[in-house]
Amino acid sequence: MNNIVSQKWLLERLDEPDVVIVDCRFLMGKPDAGRELYEASHIPGAVYLDLEKDLSAPLHEQGHGGRHPLPDIFDLTVALSRVGIGNESRVVAYDDQGGAMASRLWWLLKYLGHEQVYVLDEGFTAWAGAGFPVSSEQKELVPARFLANVQHTMLAEMDEVKERLGDAGITLIDSREAPRYRGEVEPLDKVAGHIPGAINRFWKDGLTDSGSWKDAAAQADRFADLDRDREIIVYCGSGVTATPNVIALQEAGFTKVRLYAGSWSDWISYSENPVAKGDEESPSKA
């Protein structure tokens, strides 16, 4: 599957009217920084969507839904329509965070039934560094009509994850860095560890040392020990950095991939949920 597009691919299509470029830059802990970066300089014609204001719902006071709850479907379709994304649009999302924020938009659009959405390889700094055009002019927004066709099978809820712990038909993937997965450190959430039975595949291992996305063969190597016939549920801390792993798995040819959107921060909001620490063995293909 082709979910990643090159800088040159986008450069050749900057002026095509059905292409909507979305700047998704966002810095955790600095909620206004992404928009400020966008206003200072962006790919010409790009619009801005904010991780917390547009691509997430407000936090639940009990912590349920995680640190970045999925947005309300109606609110999301309004946000997409406002910036000119319609059902026929070809959407290209970019960020400067290794593709994590752009992948969140990619996943949300796929979840709403929109197929023509892509992540720009490498991100904005690489684009500007390559000498491609940038601008501080903000595009005049022309609203479009976006109708959602929600793909419920792409999403896994907490109750199902809990019910299927230990199920041999499920592979659970934790996308966080190994020390967080093992429960050795936890800089963001109140409890350290991982969901019992989950294996670790750090999402940034889907990128090369230069910051570009690995090709399909290299992604397949990352997941070579996994059974393609099993369902895969992917999570991270809050449901954002798991989405690059969803893309990577699709690029590798896996078809039964779902996102636990609430992720670890949702899981631990239920005090009765079990927690594991340390490493776990990859599930056997047998």
Residue 253 belongs to some domain of the structure? yes
In angstroms and rounded to an integer, the radius of gyration of the C-alpha atoms of the chain is 18
11 and 102 part of one domain: yes
Final residue of a structural domain among 72, 96, 129: 129
User: What pLDDT sits at residue 285?
Assistant: 54
- Choose among 261, 268, 270, 219: nearest CA to 236: 261
Distances (CA, A) of 266 to 59, 74, 162, 239, 269: 11, 22, 12, 9, 5
Q: pLDDT of the chain along its 286 residues, tens only? A: 589 999 999 999 999 999 999 999 999 889 999 999 999 999 999 999 999 999 999 999 888 999 999 999 999 999 999 999 999 999 999 999 999 999 999 999 999 999 999 999 999 999 999 999 999 999 899 999 999 999 999 999 999 999 999 999 999 999 999 999 999 999 999 999 999 999 999 999 999 999 999 999 999 999 999 999 999 999 999 999 999 999 999 999 999 999 999 999 999 999 999 999 999 987 755 4
Distances (CA, A) of 232 to 6, 90, 125, 155: 28, 28, 33, 11
DSSP 242: T
- Choose among 281, 213, 268, 218: nearest CA to 65: 268
Residue 166 belongs to some domain of the structure? yes
Using CA atoms, how far apart are residues 209 and 244, in angstroms rounded to an integer?
A: 16
8 and 80 part of one domain: yes
Residue 187 belongs to some domain of the structure? yes
214 and 169 part of one domain: yes
CA atoms within 13 A on the CB side of 255: 1
162 and 124 part of one domain: no
157 and 118 part of one domain: no
User: What pLDDT sits at residue 1?
Assistant: 58
Helices (H) and strands (E) in the chain, counts: 10, 10
User: What pLDDT sits at residue 283?
Assistant: 72
- 24 is annotated as an active-site residue: no
User: What pLDDT sits at residue 284?
Assistant: 58
Residue 147 belongs to some domain of the structure? no
User: What pLDDT sits at residue 286?
Assistant: 44
35 and 106 part of one domain: yes
CA atoms within 13 A on the CB side of 115: 2
Look up the pTM and report it: 0.97
Domain enclosing residue 99, as ranges: 4-129
Report yes or no: 134 and 41 within 8 Å, Cβ to Cβ. yes
Residue 46 belongs to some domain of the structure? yes
User: What pLDDT sits at residue 201?
Assistant: 98
The number of distinct structural domains making up the chain is 2
Catalytic residue among 236, 247, 249, 257: 236
Instruction: Output the domain CATH number for residue 186.
Output: 3.40.250.10
Q: Where are the alpha helices (DSSP H) in the chain?
A: 7-11, 33-40, 73-82, 100-111, 124-129, 158-163, 178-181, 216-222, 243-251, 263-267
